[in-house]
C-alpha cells in the first residue's frame, strides 16, 4: 500500500518538491528511496523539540501528513520543511482529520494530521470523534500556546487534551522537549496497536522551540497497554462445538475484520463450512458480495435477506463488530434465537450491547484461525442455506427506473460500479446517498469502502477521498459518492484536490434535500419538511469549474453512462452534479429501535 498517485506533489517548494512537480511521470519510489538513502547517509541531529517530533514521524515510516499551518504549530512546520514527509495543506482542519482518517483506513497504518492550537485543534474534533467511533488509526498533532500561558485563556488557547479526551483513544500534553518526540512515537504506536483509534499529542510552542538533542524512542506502546492476541482455548472449543451443531449458523463480519486483516481467514472459514455471511456497514468488503454465501449488509438500511438471516439464525458468529444500534435495531428482537459467539480484541465490547454466550477476546485473524482448527465438522445447514437463498429472491434489491421519471439514484450507483474496477475505492458523505452506495455497489475487497459509520459525519466524503487517493495504488479509482447537503459542508477541499491534481471523481446525488431527514419527516413527522428543503443548492458542476476542477451534470438516463465514463477518464478531480429523483427514498428500512425482521419495503409499511 505504499505507492500513491504520482500526480500528488508536495506543497513545500523546496528542491525535492520541485523535482517531483517537473518529473511527475517518474515513479515516486525512485525519488523516495533516493531521499531515504540521502537522509540515512547524512542523519541530521535533532536540535529542538519540533525536529524531534518530525524525527519520530520519520522513524515510524510516515510519508504523508495532512494539516493547516498556524501560530502555535509553526515550529513543527518549520521542522517539516526539511523533512521528506509530504505535507498536504488542507483548506480546513476538519478536512485534514478526515483525510488522515481515510488514509488510515486505506493504508492500514495511522494517518497523520496537524493543526494549530485553539480553533485549529477544535476543528479537528469532528474528525477525531469520527475516527474514534470507527476505530480508525490516526495521529493528531496540535500546537498549543507556550506552557507559561496555558490556563490563562491566552490567544488561540483551548484545553485541547480536555476537549478531546472523550473522542480519542489516548491523548498527551507534552511538557518536556527531551520527551516530546517519544510522546509522538508512543502516540503513533498506540493508534494502531490492539483496537485502533485516534491519538493526539498537544505540543506547546515553547516545548517544540526548546533546544534538545534527544532522539525520540522507537514507536512502542506504554507498559500498561496490553493486548490479548489469542482467545481462551476452552471457550474456543465450546464455540467450535456450538458451530458444529448449529442448524442455522451465520457469520457477522464487522469493520474489525478489515482492520485485523482477517478477511482472508474469514472467507476461508465461511466457504469451507458453507456459513452464510452478513456484514455490518464498516464490514463492507470483508467478504465478496458477489459470492453465493454473501447476504450483504444488515441493519437499518441493510438488505431484507440479511435482516431475515440475522433475525432467524440460531448461532451468530460476530467478528469485530460492536453491535451498534443501527445494526441491532431494538435489542429485544435482535437475533433472539441465536447464541452469540463474539470475537473482539477489546474486552469492553464483549456483552456491551448484546450478551455474548461465547466471548472470544483476541485478534480477529488469530481467533478465527483458532476456531478453524477447533471446528471438526461443518454444520448441517442445507435447509437454512436454501432458506437464505429464498430470502434473497423474495426481498431482492431490484428497483424501478421508469424512463419518464427523474434519474433514480440506485441506477447511478450501479453505473459507477460498472464503470470502475473491483478494487476501486468508494468514499461517501452521510445520508441517503451513503445508504444507496452501501446497497447498490458490489464490494468485493477490504479497504475499498471508506465512510463515516458510527459518528455519521456529513461532509466526510470529499476530504476522505483526498486521503484515500493519497493512500491508494495508482490503478485504484477513487469515487466519492456524495449528497448535495453533505458535499456542501466540506467542498472547500476541492481546492486541495485541484492543487494536488488528485484523480478523484465526485458524484453528487443531488435531490435538493437533506434527503434522509426528508425521508424521516415524510414517514414520522407528517411530511413537515422543516429545514430539510435545499432548493437553494448551487450548481455543483459550475462550482467545480470555479475551483479549477472538471464539472459535469446529469439530468437524464441517457447521460449517465457516458458522463460517468468521461469523468472517470478525466485525469484530475471531477464533479458530477447528478440531479436525481427528489422523491427517491431508501428501502428497506428498519425504523429506529425496531425489529430487524420487520423492515419496511415501502413507506406504507413504516
336 binds other proteins (CB under 8 A): yes
Whether 390 is a known active-site residue: answer no
Q: Which of 93, 296, 477, 500 is catalytic?
A: 93
User: What is the size of the binding site for other proteins (CB under 8 A)?
Assistant: 64
Residues 346-405 that bind other proteins (CB under 8 A): 346-348, 350-357, 359, 361, 394-399, 402, 405
Residue 570 touches other proteins, criterion: CB under 8 A = no
Q: Is 332 in the site for other proteins (CB under 8 A)?
A: yes
Interactions with other proteins, residue window 164-183 (CB under 8 A): 165-166, 170, 173
The least distance separating other proteins from the CB of residue 208, rounded to whole angstroms, comes to: 20
Give yes or no for a cis peptide into 561 (omega within 30° of 0): no
155: annotated active-site residue: yes
Residue 598 found at the interface with other proteins (CB under 8 A)? yes
Q: What minimum distance in Å lies between the beta carbon of 305 and other proteins?
A: 9
By CB under 8 A, tell whether 43 contacts other proteins.
no
Q: Which three cell numbers stand for residue 579?
A: 440531479
Catalytic residue chosen out of the listed positions 69, 156, 389, 492? 156
What are the cell numbers at 463? Answer: 476530504
Residue 459: which residues within 8 A CB-CB, separation 6 or more?
94, 98, 429, 430, 486, 487, 488, 489, 490
- If binding is defined by CB under 8 A, does position 595 make contact with other proteins? yes
589 part of the active site? no
Q: Catalytic residue, from 155, 418, 539, 583: name it.
A: 155
Mutual orientation of helices 432-440 and 515-524 as an angle, nearest 10°? Answer: 100
Q: Smallest distance from the beta carbon of 527 to other proteins, in angstroms?
A: 7
Of the residues 516, 521, 550, 589, only one is catalytic, namely 516
117, three cell numbers: 492550537
Residue 235 near other proteins by CB under 8 A: yes
Cell matching residue 555: 439530468
CA dihedral 148, 151, 154, 155 (to 10 degrees): 110
Q: How far is the CA of 497 from the CAs of 111, 124, 428, 491, in angstroms? A: 18, 19, 16, 10
Let me know: does 309 contact 391? Beta carbons within 8 Å. yes
C-alpha–C-alpha distance, residues 570 and 5, integer Å: 14
Is 579 a residue that touches other proteins (CB under 8 A)? Answer: no
Q: Which of 85, 214, 237, 600 binds other proteins (CB under 8 A)?
A: 600
Helix (H, G, I), strand (E, B) or coil at 557: helix
Listed ranges 137-145, 363-371, 531-539, 594-602: which one lies at the site for other proteins (CB under 8 A): 594-602
Cell readout for 358 is: 461465547
**Cα–Cα distance measured from residue 113 to residue 167, given in angstroms and rounded to the nearest whole number:** 15
No. of helices (H) and no. of strands (E), the chain: 24, 18
Residue 466: closest CA among 4, 99, 86: 99
Q: Under a CB-based contact definition with an 8 Å cutoff, are residues 596 and 334 in contact?
A: yes
Q: Which residues pair with 589 in a beta bridge?
A: 600
Say whether residue 522 binds other proteins (CB under 8 A). yes
Q: Does 302 bind other proteins (CB under 8 A)?
A: no
Within 102-141, the residues that bind other proteins by CB under 8 A are: none
* Beta bridge pairs of residue 365: none
Q: Please state the closest distance from residue 318 (CB atom) to other proteins, in A.
A: 12
Quick one: which of 100, 297, 308, 506 contacts other proteins (CB under 8 A)? 308
Which residues are known catalytic residues? 93, 155-156, 205, 516
Residues of the shown chain interacting with other proteins in the complex, contacts defined by CB under 8 A: 161-162, 165-166, 170, 173, 190, 222, 224-226, 228, 232, 235, 304, 308, 311-312, 323, 331-334, 336-339, 346-348, 350-357, 359, 361, 394-399, 402, 405, 522, 527, 583-585, 587-588, 595, 597-603, 605
Amino acid at each position: 500500500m505504499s505507492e500513491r498517485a504520482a500526480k500528488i506533489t508536495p506543497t513545500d517548494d523546496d528542491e525535492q518538491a520541485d523535482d517531483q512537480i517537473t518529473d511527475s511521470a517518474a515513479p515516486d519510489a525512485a525519488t523516495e528511496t533516493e531521499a531515504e538513502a540521502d537522509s540515512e547517509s547524512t542523519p541530521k541531529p535533532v536540535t529542538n523539540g519540533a525536529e524531534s517530533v518530525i524525527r519520530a514521524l520519520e522513524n515510524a515510516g510516515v510519508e504523508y501528513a495532512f494539516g493547516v499551518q498556524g501560530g502555535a504549530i509553526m515550529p513543527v512546520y518549520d521542522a517539516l520543511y526539511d523533512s521528506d514527509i509530504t505535507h498536504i495543506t488542507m483548506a480546513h482542519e476538519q478536512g485534514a482529520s478526515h483525510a488522515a482518517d481515510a488514509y488510515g483506513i486505506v493504508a492500514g497504518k495511522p494517518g497523520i494530521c496537524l493543526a494549530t492550537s485553539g480553533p485549529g485543534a477544535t476543528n479537528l474534533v469532528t474528525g477525531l470523534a469520527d475516527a474514534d467511533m470507527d476505530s480508525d488509526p490516526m495521529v493528531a498533532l496540535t500546537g498549543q500556546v507556550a506552557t507559561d500561558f496555558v490556563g490563562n485563556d491566552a490567544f488561540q488557547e483551548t484545553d485541547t487534551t480536555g476537549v478531546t479526551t472523550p473522542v480519542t483513544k489516548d491523548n498527551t500534553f507534552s511538557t518536556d522537549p527531551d520527551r516530546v518526540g517519544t510522546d509522538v512515537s508512543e502516540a503513533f504506536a498506540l493508534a494502531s496497536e490492539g483496537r485502533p483509534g485516534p491519538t493526539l499529542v498537544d505540543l506547546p510552542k515553547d516545548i517544540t522551540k526548546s533546544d534538545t538533542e534527544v532522539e525520540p524512542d522507537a514507536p512502542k506502546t506504554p507498559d500498561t497497554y496490553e493486548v490479548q492476541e489469542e482467545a481462551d482455548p476452552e471457550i474456543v472449543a465450546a464455540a467450535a462445538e456450538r458451530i458444529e451443531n448449529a442448524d442455522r449458523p451465520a457469520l457477522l463480519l464487522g469493520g474489525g475484520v478489515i482492520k485485523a486483516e482477517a478477511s482472508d481467514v474469514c472467507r476461508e472459514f465461511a466457504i469451507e463450512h458453507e456459513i452464510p455471511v452478513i456484514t455490518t456497514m464498516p464490514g463492507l468488503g470483508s467478504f465478496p458480495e458477489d459470492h453465493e454465501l454473501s447476504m450483504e449488509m444488515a441493519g437499518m438500511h441493510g438488505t431484507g435477506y440479511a435482516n431475515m438471516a440475522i433475525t432467524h439464525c440460531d448461532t451468530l458468529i460476530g467478528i469485530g463488530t460492536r453491535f451498534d444500534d443501527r445494526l441491532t435495531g431494538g435489542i429485544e428482537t435482535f437475533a433472539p434465537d441465536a447464541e452469540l459467539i463474539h470475537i473482539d480484541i477489546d474486552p469492553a465490547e464483549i456483552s456491551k450491547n448484546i450478551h455474548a454466550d461465547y466471548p472470544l477476546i483476541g485478534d480477529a485473524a488469530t481467533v478465527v484461525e483458532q476456531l478453524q482448527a477447533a471446528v471438526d465438522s461443518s454444520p448441517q445447514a442445507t435447509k437454512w442455506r436454501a432458506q437464505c437463498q429464498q430470502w434473497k429472491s423474495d426481498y431482492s434489491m431490484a428497483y424501478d427506473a421508469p424512463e419518464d421519471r427523474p434519474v433514480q439514484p440506485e441506477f447511478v450507483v450501479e453505473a459507477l460500479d460498472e464503470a470502475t474496477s473491483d478494487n476501486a475505492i468508494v468514499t461517501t458523505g452521510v445520508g441517503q446517498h451513503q445508504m444507496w452506495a452501501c446497497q447498490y455497489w458490489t464490494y468485493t475487497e477490504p479497504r475499498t469502502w471508506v465512510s463515516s459509520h458510527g459518528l455519521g459525519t456529513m461532509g466526510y466524503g470529499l476530504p476522505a477521498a483526498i486521503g484515500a487517493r493519497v493512500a491508494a495504488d495508482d490503478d485504484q479509482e477513487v469515487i466519492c459518492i456524495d449528497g448535495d447537503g453533505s458535499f456542501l459542508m466540506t467542498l472547500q477541499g476541492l481546492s486541495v484536490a485541484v492543487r494536488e491534481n488528485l484523480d478523484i471523481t465526485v458524484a453528487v446525488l443531488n435531490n435538493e434535500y437533506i434527503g434522509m431527514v426528508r425521508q424521516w419527516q415524510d414517514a414520522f413527522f407528517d411530511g413537515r419538511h422543516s429545514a430539510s428543503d435545499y432548493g437553494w443548492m448551487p450548481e455543483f458542476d459550475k462550482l467545480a469549474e470555479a475551483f479549477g476542477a472538471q464539472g459535469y451534470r446529469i439530468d437524464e438516463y441517457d447521460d449517465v453512462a457516458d458522463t460517468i465514463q468521461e469523468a472517470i477518464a478525466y485525469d484530475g478531480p471531477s464533479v458530477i452534479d447528478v440531479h436525481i429523483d427528489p422523491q427517491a427514498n431508501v428501502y428497506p428500512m428498519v425504523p429506529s429501535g425496531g425489529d430487524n425482521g420487520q423492515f419496511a419495503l415501502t413507506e406504507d409499511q413504516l
